[in-house]
Structure 1
């Protein structure tokens, strides 16, 4: 199947919440490792499905940031992903506390538990609003870069289209391309600085809410 043919539909958040909750409950109440493993494998499939949908939306939005449909889907994703992360966090907590943790580690390795413990240190329901804001700012940054229209040698190029000129064998042409790109960054310095400033303060706020000082 070609990428362009891969189907996309907005995830049903109510259904996802119920699915994650049901799988977490099954894991917690599993009478044996076989039952716990079955819930684990189903949760993996659910995660892959959700990841695929959001990846499709993200890539298609990146291809053309003017596409209104995928622009709206990314706005939805910015809000939805922290909510899904909360449901995944509940699942992760159940996995870490599972009486079958040793069995999982024997079959799948202990690394997934190491990663799970790290992930839990970087998330709390208390920072969901900030995570949504972070997603929005990151999208703004991506859209700004994608909107670049850089005049060069009589043509107009995006940042990626300008890249071959920056690697041209001719020193003068290569320098001119770098200067053209640099001018675009200078022209958009205020917007870029504003985004970075907001992200820095936002991430500092999240870190402090998570109990880290710096």
Structure 2
């Protein structure tokens, strides 16, 4: 099935709650670990429906942030997802509190239960309204950036296209592109400040209501980090400052000499060689043709997966007005289908998408085949 053909139907909180409460009752009435696992499998099925519907709505919104129908669906999910989370955490608490948990961990990967514990640390019914505000701010930012037009030499274009000019071999073009970005951002500073300030305040409020000093600790739990903490990352940042920054500064000085510049400016940051920067010399269809060949040469099963992605039209890579300006890989769990969004702009970044985001898609495909659906991966696994 092609991604564009996947049927979308909103899942209501009421219908999900009715189904989930029956499963939670089964968990509490379980007489064995096998009963617990059966209830968990049943819950994963209804959770899959919610995840798929929300993912389809978000994806189609990001493909066209002006689409009125999916704008309305995003408004719905911004408000509904915290309510789904409340129900989900009732399920997770029932699983964790079951007297058969230890025995069930022989049937279900113990990390699933660790993931449940982590999830409970990120939520309380007390923060539902705050989460709804946070979701709305995130959606507002995505919509605003997708519709923001940048003027460059008399032409209006999305940021994703203009960024490509920051790698132009002409320093004057790079400078003008950087200035065009800056001018548009500055002209909309009030909106950016309002969204950013709103996110900082609401996330701090959520964290404090949950018993944390600030959002940092909560952020680690949200990302599913179970094997390293804030202090360890602080040590890593210090190592970046003491070891990596001096090395980068030395490399930048070599680049400055190579380019014959008196001083490297911010609009020179993406340039490392004289003449043209490496960029694709073929069009988008040819990029995909070559990627398909590369992955088949790498390993037939990877090539086969790439072909399945192409057959499903699971890529949307051309930049256009109204499209979300970043890049991501998402999944439609019910259909076991990954999907990649990107914005090609004629730079080497176009090739990066076919490796980086495709790597996420391949990992997702392996997860569908071999992992449990509620197995926690964590953000560090993603990147």
Same fold (TM over 0.5): yes
Structure 1 window deviating more from structure 2 (1-10 vs 168-177): it is: 168-177
Taking structure 1 as reference, are residues 171 and 111 closer, same or farther at Cα in structure 2, changes over 3 Å only?
Answer: farther
1:19 Cα deviation after fit: 0.8
2:231 alignment counterpart: none
Q: TM-score normalized by structure 1?
A: 0.94
Taking structure 1 as reference, are residues 170 and 106 closer, same or farther at Cα in structure 2, changes over 3 Å only?
Answer: farther
Structure 1 window deviating more from structure 2 (14-23 vs 162-171): it is: 162-171
Q: TM-score normalized by structure 2?
A: 0.54
2:198 alignment counterpart: 198
Indicate the structure (1 or 2) with the bigger Cα radius of gyration.
2
Write the distance in 2 (CA, Å) between the matches of 1:179 and 1:29.
65
CA RMSD of aligned residues (A): 1.4
Write the distance in 2 (CA, Å) between the matches of 1:23 and 1:69.
32
1:148-163 correspondence to structure 2 within 5 Å: 148-163=148-163
Q: Determine if the alignment matches structure 1 residue 168 to structure 2 residue 168.
A: yes
TM-superposition CA deviations, 1:159-200 (whole Å, max 9, x none):
122232223333332332222222221111111101111111
Write the distance in 2 (CA, Å) between the matches of 1:183 and 1:35.
61
Write the distance in 2 (CA, Å) between the matches of 1:79 and 1:105.
34
Write the distance in 1 (CA, Å) between the matches of 2:169 and 2:2.
36
Taking structure 1 as reference, are residues 38 and 156 closer, same or farther at Cα in structure 2, changes over 3 Å only?
Answer: same
1:109 Cα deviation after fit: 2.2
How many residues get paired?
Answer: 214
Structure 1 window deviating more from structure 2 (46-55 vs 159-168): it is: 159-168
Write the distance in 1 (CA, Å) between the matches of 2:6 and 2:167.
35
1:93 Cα deviation after fit: 0.4
The structure showing larger relative contact order (alpha-carbon pairs under 8 Å, at least 6 residues apart) is 2
2:137 alignment counterpart: 137
1:46 Cα deviation after fit: 1.4
Contact 2:207 2:213 in 1 (8 A): yes
1:99 alignment counterpart: 99
1:34 alignment counterpart: 34
* Runs (4+) off by over 6 Å: none
Write the distance in 2 (CA, Å) between the matches of 1:45 and 1:72.
26
Question: For 2:151, what is the secondary structure of its paired residue?
Answer: strand
Q: Determine if the alignment matches structure 1 residue 74 to structure 2 residue 74.
A: yes
Q: Which structure features the higher share of helix residues?
A: 1
Write the distance in 2 (CA, Å) between the matches of 1:75 and 1:95.
31
